[in-house]
Chain A
């Protein structure tokens, strides 16, 4: 067992892709399965843990989420739910995608769930051209092919932009 996880008040240092360092309490870091596995596998807390894919702005958001969830007791589910919806409320698409990528990399399931759900809810009623721009997807259909695909489920497009 690593000495680093014997002391509950211990802190570890995370380093964002743009070089900013964050001092994090260990119980907060444990919200991330990736960090938990690193600590379990004898990684010393003296080391700085680099997170090369996550910028400082995103990492600050991620750690804010982890702190809230680590500190709240399990009986306060209602409070956490309102924190979650407030947390994502005015976030733009770019920030949401960064959160999804970070939550996936750091293996924070709860955060991945709410951020992915938020993106899904946002694109639900958007015109396809906007969805393509958001996801960086090229329309490789010919106009005839696209019309044929729409025709397969014409009923689903009633009232759709």
Chain B
């Protein structure tokens, strides 16, 4: 006998189903045709993503003992005591070499080797191999992946040096997921001899930001306006001084620049927020810490929380800078070789499909 006398209103069915993990929803698609349609409905997908559990996702380089190469692995940390390996083996047909880049946005990830770029959804195990960019790169300086609110599209930005001999041959290309094609952006990049640090990217109205480094000009913030095709290099706040660790993070939809200082076995982090419309580009400096011991910053969380790599311990530690509460996470790897923890970023599952429309038909 049915529990409800008639079918639930769609709105309440969405209330209930939006609280299930992606794997369960993929199973439930075979309950009925109307459920199949609902689970693929864009407003359901978006409701589900806002409710999906927020994980810390840790990306780590681990030395492969068979061939001595470093390989990247990803782990989800639901709480202090558990670790789930994030299985990305479904991308292997396209990414059989060492991963060069990894960017995450709204539950999707953009992964690349020196020859291929894919956008994948680890929750649905869907993967899209991007068409080859129009220029072969001698070196890819930057690969960004972000949701562009201006065009409601996911975009990949690639900054490539074309040859070793002429560093001036620099090309910027943008891939749009809906058009499924690359487009060249004509913009002049002022100084080509630079590298881009691991940094998150967010497209604010079509502008991508990243932190770059050049031996003579040191660190700078690069802003690429994909709408106007302009490129701008901005200097860091005058009073930023650090022991070398400077990072760029996303905090509540703003860019935050964080410089670390270690002194007398104490670590503190100075935080600047970017104000795009202010007279001063950087505002609101505050300091996290001091914390006893040496720490590296792995991630920066909206809820007064930073994730730290406990120096010499190889452990992830979360620190709440309002309550000063420190929590240690379970050690992810127990390998004799040192592991290189590259970053920890927020990850929530999504049902969003990355398949091409033609593949869905």
Contact = CB atoms under 8 A, between A and B. Distances in A.
Contact of A128 (B1, B5, B21, B28): B28
Contact of B2 (A104, A117, A134, A157): A134
A137 B38 CA distance: 13
Contacts of A137: 7, 31-32, 34-35
A138 interface: yes
Interface string A3-27: 0000000000000000000000000
Nearest to B30: A149
A132 to B, nearest CB: 6
Interface in A108-158: 112, 116-117, 119-121, 123-124, 128, 131-141, 146, 149-150, 152-153, 155-157
B4 to A, nearest CB: 5
B89 to A, nearest CB: 11
A136 B19 contact: no
Contacts of A43: none
B29 A152 contact: yes
A158 B29 CA distance: 15
A49 B198 CA distance: 60
A140 B32 contact: yes
Contacts of B11: 104
B124 interface: yes
B31 A139 contact: yes
Interface residues of B, number: 32
A119 B125 contact: no
A157 B29 CA distance: 11
Nearest to A131: B31
Given A136-B6, A137-B7, A117 B31 contact: no
A97 B30 contact: no
B23 interface: yes
Contact of B16 (A116, A133, A138, A152): A116
B12 interface: yes
Contacts of B7: 135-137
B38 to A, nearest CB: 11
A139 B30 CA distance: 9
Contact of A136 (B4, B29, B125): B4
A78 interface: no
Contacts of B34: 137, 140
A134 B16 CA distance: 13
Given A128-B28, A135-B13, A117 B19 contact: yes
B27 interface: yes
A119 B33 CA distance: 21
A51 interface: no
A11 B16 CA distance: 33
Contact of B28 (A93, A97, A131, A152): A131
Given A112-B15, A157-B27, A160-B27, A133 B32 contact: no
A134 B3 contact: yes
Nearest to A92: B3
A120 B53 CA distance: 14
A93 B3 contact: yes
A52 interface: no
A100 B12 contact: yes
B17 interface: yes
A136 B7 CA distance: 6
Contact of A94 (B3, B26, B32): B3
B5 A146 contact: no
A132 B29 CA distance: 12
A30 interface: no
Contacts of B26: 152-153, 156
16 contacts: A97-B4, A116-B15, A119-B16, A120-B17, A124-B24, A128-B27, A128-B31, A131-B28, A131-B31, A133-B2, A135-B7, A140-B33, A152-B29, A153-B26, A153-B125, A156-B27
Given A131-B28, A133-B2, 19 more contacts: A94-B3, A97-B8, A100-B15, A100-B16, A124-B24, A131-B31, A134-B2, A135-B3, A135-B31, A136-B3, A136-B5, A136-B7, A136-B8, A137-B31, A140-B34, A141-B32, A149-B30, A153-B26, A153-B125
